[in-house]
């Protein structure tokens, strides 16, 4: 039976995907998601809009 992508956690995907650098999979992807969320918050912040 083939594994569906939805059944794979982001950490498993990062660890098994050769396109993802090894250091990213070791650190886990949570820090990357947090960084992207913060950068989007800054991008949409009122300071930037003015």
Residues near 11 by beta carbon (within 8 Å), at least 6 away in sequence: 25, 28, 29
pLDDT at 3: 53
pLDDT at 43: 78
Euclidean distance between the first and the last CA atom of the chain, given in angstroms as a whole number:
54
Each domain of the chain, given as residue ranges in start order, spans: 5-49
Walking along the chain (50 residues) 10 residues at a time, the average pLDDT comes out as 59 67 68 81 71
pLDDT at 1: 46
Check if the beta carbon of residue 25 is closer than 8 Å to that of residue 14.
yes
pLDDT at 14: 62
Residues near 16 by beta carbon (within 8 Å), at least 6 away in sequence: 8
pTM for the predicted model, two decimal places = 0.36
């Amino acid at each position: 039976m083939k594994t569906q992508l939805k059944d794979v956690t982001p950490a498993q995907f990062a660890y098994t995907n050769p396109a993802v650098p090894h250091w990213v999979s070791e650190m886990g992807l949570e820090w990357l998601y947090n960084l992207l969320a913060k950068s989007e918050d800054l991008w949409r912040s009122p300071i930037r809009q003015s």
